Amino acid sequence: MHEKILILDFGSQYTQLIARRVRELNIYCEIHPWNKCPELDDVKGVILSGSPFSVRDSSSPQPDLSAIRGKLPLLGVCFGAQFMAHNFGGEVLPSTIREYGRANLSSVDTNHILTKGMSVNSQVWMSHGDTIKTIPDNFKIIASTEDVAVAGYHIEGEDTYGIQFHPEVYHTLEGAILLKNYLVDICGCSQDWTPNSFVDETVNSLKEQIGNDKVILGLSGGVDSSVAAILLHKAIGENLHCIFVDNGLLRKNEFSQVLDSYQGMGLNVKGVNASQLFYDELKGLTDPEAKRKAIGKVFIDVFDAESKLVEDAKWLGQGTIYPDVIESISATGGPSATIKSHHNVGGLPDYMKLKVVEPLRLLFKDEVRRIGASMGMEPSLLGRHPFPGPGLGIRILGDITPEKVAILQDVDHIFISSLKEDGLYDEVWQAGAIFLPVQTVGVMGDERTYENAVALRAVTSTDGMTADWSHLPYEFLAKVSNRIINQVKGINRVTYDISSKPPATIEWE
């Protein structure tokens, strides 16, 4: 068992970032809803997240910290800091000016164990509508800004701390210093959560869990399912049966190229071309969710039929990762907001009597890539952009036909190939093309045309939760547009999407 940091989630948009920053320091952590605190065995310290609630609201979270405070190191961030100040004898009031965005520390105790190594005037990130007005006598202020007197405090006589700013976000420039001080010097974590240790422990655990049973795993060509497959292969070898389904909605030549790559890695994999089954089920559908469900239904049908050809299979392998798990549980312990239906969590039909094994369910996407690299997987596979489960089915707005798929595959191929040729692919988090449900007037030669339009989409991000549009060079976009219009019959107009998430999403459907 690894030593563990527990993060209690009060619904903050930044909670996953806290966990990722902890993991980057090679320390294992888990996120749990504030009202579903697990057993504290092996827990070295606890972090209280921020929240959209105000501590002054009667409906705000009211955690019982009696089993934690004074017994384990405790760090409150934003709401967490305000909650402790409010409930332990201080006063929290509405801010006269909403404190959001960049701020600078006007004073910081550089000798204090939590803030040592930080600098006066260091930039921090604020995001709160309340402020800590007064604190009890046993609270010691260890950091302030011009507008926030209590930007950081320590409850004397115990390892309990609160900070009003967010050390986990990129804009808090010395946030990593504070987190390391807390995790290593205060909590005493040994930083032993490494890719190599994860691989060794997971392979041994899978061997014990599965024994000589057979496992079926659906490969998608993406990073998650690929790394999950290699881990399972290391544990059970030929008893892992991989199925790679061509739904007719993959990128150009992707089915054959990825299948060859998997076979080159020694995986026991079977390719199944089921394109026509998907096209038949999708015929005439235009609603995005209806298309998702149709794609999911046919995939399950095909996967189930292929699974039955593997005698005595008892397990279903999935590439579920930690954000999928977290998103299926809200901070209040109830159902979360609607999750798009192609996510891995849930969705296994009752008639498929298979137990589920998910070797990556504790990992974030960046950790999955590091695990894959530690096992010697090809950088080209690990560095692939995310691709939606329904594939091009949700990048064709309106009804789907084989003709539209072929056109979009050609457009997408030119766009992605050009990004790679110009050394821009790795600067972009995700890129693709969208087939628009409109036709536009154009001129080709001496003739007017009335043909299709496409949109190109490229974003920068770290985890897909937020994203900005990629500021690709005008010269590059001009070259790509020219190539698409000249080489792809049926396209006479190319647009570029400059929307950020939020308010837009990365995919159009």
Number of H helices, E strands in the chain: 13, 18
Q: Which two tokens stand for residue 277?
A: 């089954």
Q: Which residues have a catalytic role annotated?
A: 78, 166, 168
355 alpha-carbon distance from chain centroid: 25
| 451 burial level (CB within 10 Å; 0-12, 13-18, 19+) | middle
The torsion angles phi and psi of 367, rounded to 5 degrees, stand at -70, -35
pLDDT digits (tens, 9 = 90+) for 259-308: 998 988 899 999 999 999 999 999 999 999 999 999 989 998 998 899 88
Residue of 79, 359, 45 whose CA lies nearest to 190 = 45
Per-residue confidence in pLDDT tens, the chain, 509 aa: 678 999 999 988 888 889 989 999 999 999 999 998 999 989 999 999 999 899 999 889 999 999 999 999 999 999 999 999 999 999 998 877 666 778 999 999 999 999 999 999 999 988 878 889 999 999 999 999 988 999 999 999 999 999 999 999 888 999 999 999 999 999 999 999 888 889 999 999 999 999 999 999 998 888 999 999 999 999 999 999 999 999 999 999 999 988 998 988 899 999 999 999 999 999 999 999 999 999 989 998 998 899 889 999 999 999 888 877 776 555 444 333 333 333 343 445 555 678 899 999 888 888 999 999 999 998 888 888 988 889 999 999 999 999 999 999 999 999 999 999 999 999 999 999 999 999 898 877 667 788 999 999 999 987 676 789 999 999 999 999 999 999 999 999 999 999 998 888 899 99
Q: What is the DSSP string of 194-221?
A: -HHHHHHHHHHHHHHHHTT-EEEEEE-S
DSSP one-letter string for 154-181? EETTTTEEEESS-TTSTTSTTHHHHHHI
Go through the chain and tell me how many residues it has. Answer: 509
**Residues paired with residue 360 on neighbouring β-strands, in sequence order:** none
Determine which helix (DSSP H) or strand (DSSP E) holds 327, and give its type and residue range.
helix 322-327
